[in-house]
């Protein structure tokens, strides 16, 4: 059996694919897994390093640039218009590349996690009469899945299938596939992570993650608030994931604003495959509202301050955050509020660091959204569909 996995553009698309690859191998050690990604993807090295993936191929892909709340402004913008026209050409080239690649690989099935590359790959599969399965992480389907979703054998979704526009008889709620490394965090589990990370058991610890590409507004807010926070909480430890393109800028900014002693209390990383360990060791997590990261923290049951991106098309991060806020499962701060007043974040951090009971309440409510077995369920559906069952 040969299965093609496709998707990309962000760590939130790639890491669940690696989880599915591991689960496929667990259920069928003889399955051959191939990854087809996008040329120029920042995270293309991750599938290439994964021992469960036999081969990696890349095709051209492009996106239709739309920004939440911009309206006609974005349509009339010359730069945006030029890039959209250019990317239509890229998509066309990618479709031709995908058609011949799939014709040569002859996979039994394709599993798409979304991202721009899924359009040419799945349309190329359709032309070869190869079936595919899609997956939606957010409650609002992406443009990619609205294009390819109707032609899929199955539409797997993260939340109740009743809120999605697909045919109900081929829509299945599975949750989001996450690594088995993410488990419910107890005091014993947290202590174990801290010991491995060499973090004092009594220290206050914050884990900051803005997604695989980082989050500029969160980074800039921390430049403003961190010196005072380190002065207020003498035992504070901060681990900050800033994204691969922001590492040098962030290191230089912290060097300017922090004393030598304060700098010892913060660790800046561009990317890590040990998110589970850092988030599990933390008293508090500050995160965007990307569906994959939220699914990971839901399984762990860690207290989160969620800062959704407002610019992403469809406002899907806003929707993700609002669901948690409405269910008292996270503290939510809007991006515009953060930019206008970074100290609103500092205030919430201070309140939660001083209130372990509130942190526990948030963590308990967050676990109500967890689907820890999603990867296993998705792998089972892929294998059964590939077998014609």
The per-residue pLDDT for range 215-239, each reduced to its tens digit, is 889 999 999 999 999 999 999 999 9
CATH 3.40.50.2000 residue ranges of the chain are 2-175+372-386, 187-369
The topology (CATH level 3) of 2-175+372-386 is Rossmann fold (3.40.50)
Residue 70, pLDDT above cutoff 60? no
CA–CA dist 350, 366 (Å, integer): 20
Could you confirm whether domain 187-369 is CATH 3.40.50.2000? Answer: yes
pLDDT of residue 80: 65
pLDDT of the residue at 40: 81
Mean pLDDT of the chain: 91
- The pLDDT of residue 313 is 60
Q: Above 90 in pLDDT, residue 116?
A: no
């500029």: which residue's tokens? Answer: 216
pLDDT value at 279 more than 60: yes
In angstroms, the CA 167 to CA 155 distance is: 8
This prediction has a pTM of 0.88
Q: How confident is the model at residue 213 (pLDDT cuts 50, 70, 90)?
A: low
Out of 285-289, 315-319, 322-326, pick the least confident.
315-319
Check: CB of residue 349 under 8 Å from CB of residue 255.
no
Question: In sequence order, which residues have a C-beta less than 8 Å from that of residue 191 and are 6 or more positions away?
Answer: 201
Residue 272 to residue 154: CA distance in whole angstroms: 32
Determine the pLDDT at residue 340. Answer: 94
Given this model, what pLDDT does residue 347 score?
97
């Amino acid at each position: 059996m040969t299965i093609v996995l496709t998707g990309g553009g962000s760590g939130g698309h790639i890491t669940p694919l690696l989880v599915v690859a591991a689960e496929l191998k667990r259920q069928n050690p003889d399955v051959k897994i191939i990854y087809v990604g996008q040329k120029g993807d920042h995270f293309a090295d991750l599938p290439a390093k994964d021992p469960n993936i036999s081969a990696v191929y890349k095709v051209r892909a492009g996106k239709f640039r739309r920004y939440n709340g911009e309206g006609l402004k974005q349509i009339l913008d010359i730069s945006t218009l030029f890039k959209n026209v250019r990317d239509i050409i890229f998509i066309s080239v990618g479709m031709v590349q995908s058609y011949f690649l799939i014709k040569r690989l002859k996979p039994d099935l394709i599993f798409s996690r979304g991202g721009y590359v899924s359009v040419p790959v799945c349309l190329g599969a359709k032309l070869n009469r190869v079936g595919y399965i899609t997956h939606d992480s957010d409650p609002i389907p992406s443009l990619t899945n609205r294009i390819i979703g109707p032609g899929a054998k199955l539409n797997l979704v993260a939340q109740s299938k009743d809120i999605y526009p697909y045919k109900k008889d081929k829509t299945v709620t599975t949750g989001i596939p996450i690594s088995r490394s993410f488990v419910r965090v107890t005091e014993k589990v947290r202590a174990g992570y801290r010991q491995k990370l060499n973090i004092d058991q009594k220290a206050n610890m914050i884990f900051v993650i803005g997604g695989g590409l980082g989050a500029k507004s969160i980074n800039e807010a921390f430049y403003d608030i961190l010196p005072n926070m380190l002065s207020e909480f003498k035992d504070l430890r901060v681990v900050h994931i800033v994204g691969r393109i922001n590492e040098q800028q962030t290191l230089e900014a912290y060097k300017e604003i922090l004393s030598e002693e304060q700098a010892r209390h913060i660790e800046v990383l561009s990317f890590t495959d040990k998110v589970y360990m850092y988030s599990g060791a933390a008293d508090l997590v500050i995160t965007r509202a990307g569906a994959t990261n939220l699914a990971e923290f839901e399984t762990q049951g860690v207290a989160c301050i969620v800062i959704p991106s407002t610019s992403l098309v469809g406002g899907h991060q806003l929707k993700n955050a609002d669901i948690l806020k409405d269910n008292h499962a996270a503290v939510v701060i809007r991006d515009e509020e953060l930019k206008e007043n970074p100290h609103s974040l500092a205030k919430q951090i201070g309140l939660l660091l001083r209130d372990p009971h509130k942190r526990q309440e948030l963590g308990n409510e967050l676990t109500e959204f967890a689907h820890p077995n999603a990867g296993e369920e998705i792998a089972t559906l892929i294998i059964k569909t590939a077998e014609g069952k």
